[in-house]
Amino acid sequence: MQRRITKIAKKFDDDTQRIRGQLILDLKALAEIAYEQGFCKLIEW
């Protein structure tokens, strides 16, 4: 049982890190588009 819980927890952690990484990339892309279109000059990546 403990082994199964550990396996599920690791998969969840891996998925969370992957999703977080993708969200960061998406936010950077959106910030660049907004900057290029003059909507904001907010974030220096």
Reduced DSSP (H G I as helix, E B as strand, rest coil) percent helix, strand, coil of the chain, to 5: 80, 0, 20
Domain tally for the chain? 1
pTM of the entire structure? 0.63
Identify the pLDDT of residue 18: 95
Identify the pLDDT of residue 7: 93
Cα–Cα distance, 28 to 22 (Å, whole number): 10
Cα–Cα distance, 19 to 32 (Å, whole number): 20
26, 20 contact by CB (below 8 A): no
- Provide the domain limits for residue 17: 1-45
For the stretch 1-45, pLDDT in tens is: 899 999 999 999 999 999 999 999 999 998 888 888 876 555 555
9, 15 contact by CB (below 8 A): no
Cα–Cα distance, 37 to 45 (Å, whole number): 17
